[in-house]
Amino acid sequence: MTVLLTGGAGFIGSHTYLALLEAGHQPVIVDNFSNSNPKILEKLKQITGLPVICHRADVRDEAALSAVFEKHRLTAVIHFAGYKAVGESVGRPLAYYRNNLDSTLALCEVMKRYGVTRLVFSSSATVYGATDRMPLKENMPTGCTNPYGWTKYMNEQILRDMTAANPDWSVALLRYFNPVGAHESGLVREEPTGIPNNLMPYITQVACGKLPELIIFGGDYPTGDGTGVRDYIHVMDLAAGHLAACGFLSDRTGCEAFNLGTGIGYSVLQVVDAFQRVNGVRIPYRIGPRRPGDIARCYADPARAQTMLRWRAKKNLDDMCRDSWRFQQMREH
């Protein structure tokens, strides 16, 4: 397969690139590097020994996107491109709606034009909203608590409607839980600019002394220790889920949603404790106020993906902590 990765230079996209290449497929990246660093391309080349096919373009630009489709005979598309920070989306809702919806609409228009009908969409567990029912299952009601989540919800609806109107299309909606970790090489992982929005890169920057302490957003949630509970999944397991979804779509049509998670919820303090234990480093922290849009608990029922995609998360929390710290140490040296 020749697979287009929109936003393929980002955290999850770059790891999926490696999984596709290892499985014998040809990934093609299109990215405007608004959420990523072009240096990632050299790291991907260093890991694989192969040149990276990458087009610098904004997915919302139909003309630029069409030029990519003209150049490559694409089998499928994995759509990662989009803004991704829950807290930021609350303060910049228009930017999130404009970017995340326009990119999907432009991509679908170009896919239709070139007869590419297989699409894996990067969705999110945020589409389940603020329910107290756990674990989350794909047939549960959806609804959101922040603009980021609503963009995922709306994109899912766009793709369902698109598939209903075009019965030859096959679409997988992958609802991620909380990706962490890094490639075993230690060369690629999440590299945020400024203070990270996500827990694990925040922890690793405190561990190496780049930040003085970890601020935990909320210590009064109705959970075992008062901190938020999430389903953390290793990014390489997540990448494998995209590969499985591409295979799943190869011989069927329609639109299906899948949770990609481990099914286990860990609190922020449990993650901090695991990181300290596995890596032998101390993480100073303090409890701060809750972030707008955050919920108390969120973890998956991954049974549908296990049955239909024949995919299962293999790595545990210790693996996630160990791989994240390895990357940070290599980066500092």
Q: Please give the DSSP secondary-structure letter assigned to residue 161.
A: H
Angle between helices 317-332 and 199-207 (to 10 degrees): 50
Q: For strand 178-180 and strand 2-6, is the pairing parallel, antiparallel, or unpaired? A: unpaired
- CA-closest candidate to residue 189, choices 155, 144, 236: 236
Task: Please identify which of the residues 83, 128, 148, 266 carries the catalytic annotation.
Answer: 148
* Residue showing tokens 């994109």: 155
For 194, counting Cβ atoms within 10 Å of its Cβ (0-12 exposed, 13-18 middle, 19+ buried), the class is: exposed
CA 185 – CA 52 distance, rounded (Å): 17
CA 228 – CA 209 distance, rounded (Å): 24
Residue 202 tokens read as 């925040």
Which of 307-329 are b and which e, b meaning 16 or more Cβ less than 10 Å from the residue's Cβ?
Answer: eebebbbebebebbbbbbbbbbe
114 is catalytic: no
CA 204 – CA 218 distance, rounded (Å): 20
CA 100 – CA 21 distance, rounded (Å): 27
Measure the N-to-C terminal CA separation of the chain; round to a whole number of Å.
Answer: 37
Torsion angle of C-alpha atoms 100, 13, 320, 283, degrees rounded to 10: -60
Residue 217 tokens read as 């957003």
Q: Are 199 and 254 in contact (CB under 8 A)?
A: no
Catalytic residue ranges: 148
